[in-house]
Chains A and B, each alone.
Chain A
Amino acid sequence: MSGAINIMRRELTGYFATPVAYVFLVIFLVMTGVFTFYLGNFYERGYADLDPFFRFHPWLYLFLVPAISMRLWAEERRSGTIELLFTLPLTTIDAVLGKFMAAWLFIGLALVLTIPMWLTVGYLGSPDNGVILAGYLGSWLMAGGFLAIGSCMSALTRNQVVAFILSVVVCFLFLLSGLPMVMNLFRGWAPQVILDGIAGLSFFKHFADISKGVIDIRDLVYFVLVIGFWLYANVVILELKKAE
């Protein structure tokens, strides 16, 4: 575990030593603002809640999280530091967890920086703070899911652009798996169990449930399982093709 924490510290140092962190944070804050106020009609709706804010998070993450995760392993491969990393007395699990935690905390920081939005709602009306807190939790968990997928895709290639595109595609499938356009592909030939399974994979549905303020253990377990599954796949891929 100390190995994972050391890796996490190194990664976080790396983020803030380059413009990556600042560019990401600024873009994230500007985009959440634009979505909330223009597309979400924050004022016009006349409700003191953050629904217009959270509603667009899945779409924002679809592109911004792969932008963070694409370099996680592809960059290590390209620069050859992967050889340095895996000849240190660390397990692959340490390395994967450390990198994941750093990126997840970083996205957490981006979310924390949107708290003025919460304060604004609080100033304008009297929102249900529990629902908003649940929204933040759900959003962060969903970001973790996207991130675990992105980290795994990044381990497949030394090319960051390829990693980005693969991540966006896989995240997109996960996001949309409950929507009719995906379900229609399976409907008619797949048995109901599989249809339910596919519908149950949707990030949308679980995120929507949590951000309504209903923290159901099943939704939490869902995100934890998604993260666990993709990080496990990440470890397996690295073990299989460390040196390629």
Chain B
Amino acid sequence: MIEARSLSKRYGGFTAVDDLSFTVEPGQVLGFLGPNGAGKSTTMKMLTGFLTPTSGHALINGIDVSENSVAACEHIGYLPEGAPSYGEMTVRQFLAFIARARLINSQDVAGKVDQAIDKLNLTAVAHQPIETLSKGFNRRVGLAQAIIHDPQILILDEPTDGLDPNQKHEVRHLIQDMAHDKIIVISTHILEEVEAVCNRVMIISDGKLLADDSPSGLISRSRYHNAVSMVVAGAEKVASVLSELPEVAKAELRDGELTMFPANENGLFEAITAAIASNQWQVSALRLEVGRLDEVFRSITTGESVL
């Protein structure tokens, strides 16, 4: 279990992380979401013991990280920001070094290295110096070193940064595979990633926790949640007719697409389809909106309502 108790980090007058408290249980994949400079990386550095909090405590399976960082580190696999590694070493040498540092028995080192190379598809480059590899391979080497000792807690700072769409898909798959009995914390500013792998999201901005919810919970905060969008001939006339309906709070026409926002919980879609049928409008597209995460993200982090 990860437990953060009023974590704060201040640099002079600047507050990078401000009184952050949360707990993460096994089975949770927590996504830190926030603009650049929000304090995501700083929080992760405090959880892993690299930074000492100005005030507050981080506990890893009950061990206070700032009191006993060596014991706490044994439970953690960590991918630091930018996936740093020793460029002059080959992938194999590097992973073997990490495995030995992770206190894996010397006769098990080779096996663990093979497993990690296999999981991250690094076989082709296993004997190449890391500095000659592409950014995508580099990131995968970073992930391989984080999972090599099969840690109970994984803390990954931007695990898919620099990967192409196929590689992103593979890494997300890997995370999902490991998710059921582990605690995984990832940071990202890619919204689709949160929906793809996380079952819990914390939105952080200016070091403060602004939202802590499931991805579907966040999406349902969108004003587009349960709205109905359509492309229809004579949209302006249709809009004026539909906005008279009791189920419709507001009708908006944008780029040729008409969106009706619900006045109450349900019944909007049915009311609109009924209106389409009775008025015989020429509808070429019709869909029920689930909500837009990017809009929720912007309205939460900038504090203004976004249209």
**Could you tell me which A residues sit within 8 Å of B by CB distance?**
2-3, 6-7, 9-10, 13-14, 17-18, 79-81, 83-84, 86-91, 242-243
Contact = CB atoms under 8 A, between A and B. Distances in A.
8 contacts: A10-B97, A14-B86, A18-B88, A79-B84, A79-B86, A84-B80, A87-B78, A242-B50
B93 A87 contact: no
Interface in B89-136: 89, 93, 97-98, 100-103, 129
Nearest to B41: A83
A17 B81 contact: no
B71 interface: yes
Nearest to A14: B88
B101 A17 contact: no
A10 B89 contact: yes
A10 B86 contact: yes
B97 A6 contact: yes
A89 B70 contact: yes
A17 to B, nearest CB: 4
Given A87-B78, A89-B74, 12 more contacts: A6-B97, A6-B100, A9-B97, A17-B129, A80-B80, A83-B50, A84-B78, A84-B145, A87-B50, A88-B73, A89-B103, A90-B70
A69 to B, nearest CB: 17
Contacts, number: 67
B82 to A, nearest CB: 6
A81 B89 CA distance: 13
Contact-size category for B: 20 to 34
A235 to B, nearest CB: 14
B76 A87 contact: yes
A9 B76 CA distance: 23
B45 interface: yes
B214 interface: no
A6 B48 CA distance: 21
A81 B84 contact: yes
B85 interface: yes
Contacts of A81: 84-86
Given A6-B100, A80-B80, A243-B45, A86 B86 contact: no
Contacts of A9: 97
Nearest to B75: A89
Contacts of A2: 100
B37 interface: no
A17 B78 contact: no
A80 B97 CA distance: 17
B245 interface: no
Contacts of B50: 83, 86-87, 242-243
Contacts of B100: 2, 6
B49 interface: yes
Nearest to A75: B86
B7 to A, nearest CB: 15
